[in-house]
Each structure stands twice: as C-alpha cells, then as structure tokens.
A = this chain, B = another copy of it.
Amino acid sequence: MKNIAILGYGNIGQAAEQALSISTDLTLLRIYHHNEIDSLESDCREGKIDGVIICTPTREVQTYAERLLRTGVCTVDSFDIHGQIVSLRQALNTEAVSGQAVAVVAAGWDPGTDSVVRTLMKAMVPNGLTYTNFGPGRSMGHTVAAKAIKGVKNALSMTIPLGTGIHRRMVYIELEEGAQYEDVKQRLLQDDYFAHDETHVIAVDSVEALNNVAHGVKLTRNGVSGTTHNQRMTFSMTINNPALTGQVLVSTLRAALRLQQEKRYGAYTLIEIPPIYLLEGETEENIKQLV
C-alpha cells in the first residue's frame, strides 16, 4: 500500500480524493491546501509520502512539482497548456532524475488519455487526418477570459463541437449593474480568446443556474494503413469532467510509482507509459482479462 497526498482541493482535488477511495493499492494520507506546501514538502522528506497528486491551477504545477520531486516522491498533474508540455516535461525530468523519482505530466483526459488514443490511431493509420472535437461542455480557459471582460459579473463559456475540429462558443454572461449588453458583447467578441471562433453571447440572470461539469469529446481519424485508404476510427465519450480527470490522475500515479520501482526515473507523458501500468492487479491476470 502506497501513501498518497493531494495538493489542492478544488474540483480536481475532490475528484482525486474520490478516485483514491476506490483504489486498493493507494491510500490517501492527507489533503494539503496551497498554503501548506512547506508542510507537504517536509512530510515528503520524512518519507511519509510516496506520491503527490498535484491539483493546483496549471500555472503553479511546475514550481510545486520541482520542489516535491527533489524529495524523492513521484508526482502527477493534469497540466493542460498543450504548447508548454514539452518544456514542462524537460524541466521536471531534471528534478525527477536527481530525486530518483518519476513525474507524469499532462495526465488528464486531454491532454492525457485522448493523447494515447491519438497515438494509437496514428500507429494504426500513419497517414491521414485526426480531428479532436470537444464538448458540449464548459471551457475553463474561455470562461476565465469571459469573466475578465469589463462589465461581466459572472460567465460560462460552453464549447460546442461543429466537426473537423471547429468549435462554436456559447457564452452566457451575467452583467454587472449598469453595464450595457451591446458594449459588453462587442468587447468580448474582440477578445483574442473569442475573435477566431463563431461566438454567441447570451445575457442571463444567473450563470450559477447553468452550471454543469458534463463534458465530452469525439476524436476521429480517417486515413491510410499501409497503402489502403478509407480506414476510419472514432473515439468518443460523455463524462463528468473533474471525475474523469481525478481518476486518470490516480491511475497515472500508480504507473509513476511502478516506473520508480523499476528505477526508470524521469518525467513522462501518458503516451510514454505502458497502459497496463495504469491498472491495479497482476500482469497476467490483466492480460487475460483485457488482451
């Protein structure tokens, strides 16, 4: 049994706690809030903790992970800025090797398990087009951007898939007192987050009444295996977003601990890890059940 800590207790931290509650090989030692990082670090140094699930905002992941990896514990995170994953992996690799630990970065569902599906699809169909169609579901990035617009009291930006990787933004806003809908709408449509997509701005009385953590994705690939065209494949899901993220983080931490046990120290993404390492149970039994 391995002792696990959770750092951060928002949606994802709570979901990770629930995912740990059904695990029989990982046990939750303690949840640490952001301001308890020093005490987490010292508990790691004292050997009380084997792995940490980092559930802080994405931009804080690197700083926390570096500190923790140096103490020799494994970390996982659901860092989600696609363009910065390679550099995060490089940075954490250095610390993980020096701490004789393993970090797995970007281990949510996208980036994360979707990345594994994209990799597998490319192995099956080396030439062709993959489209990732998100939603319907709330976009965190676009919601934060909408909330930052002058005159917006609260906002929710929904991502609606239109196919071939094109998305519509449905932005529900609560106006601040005195703010004019048309002015706020124009400011929002000019924001870089929204200027490039079809965007609809809808004024509502209560954003809270619309809140829902449901999300989904549909990945499609159509292309060529060898010299044979018209090979078509689709992966799709409809999910509770934080619940899936929390579960993937827990499954991934299991794999990280396994890699550490094999002395394969360093930082990885999910596509670099044997999928069977994500699971509880004996290798041959899992092969019998799943292969």
Contacts and interface: CB of A to CB of B under 8 A. Distances in A.
A59 interface: no
Contacts of A86: 284, 287-288
A27 interface: no
B126 A247 contact: yes
B271 A276 contact: yes
A67 interface: no
Interface of A: 15-16, 18-19, 21-22, 82, 85-86, 89, 106, 109, 111, 113, 115-120, 122-127, 224-228, 230-240, 243-244, 246-248, 250-251, 269-276, 278-280, 283-284, 286-288, 290-291
A225 B85 contact: no
Nearest to A216: B232
A124 B113 contact: yes
Contact of A234 (B113, B234, B271, B288): B234
Contact of A231 (B18, B243, B274): B243
A265 B53 CA distance: 32
A227 B21 contact: yes
Contacts of A19: 225-226
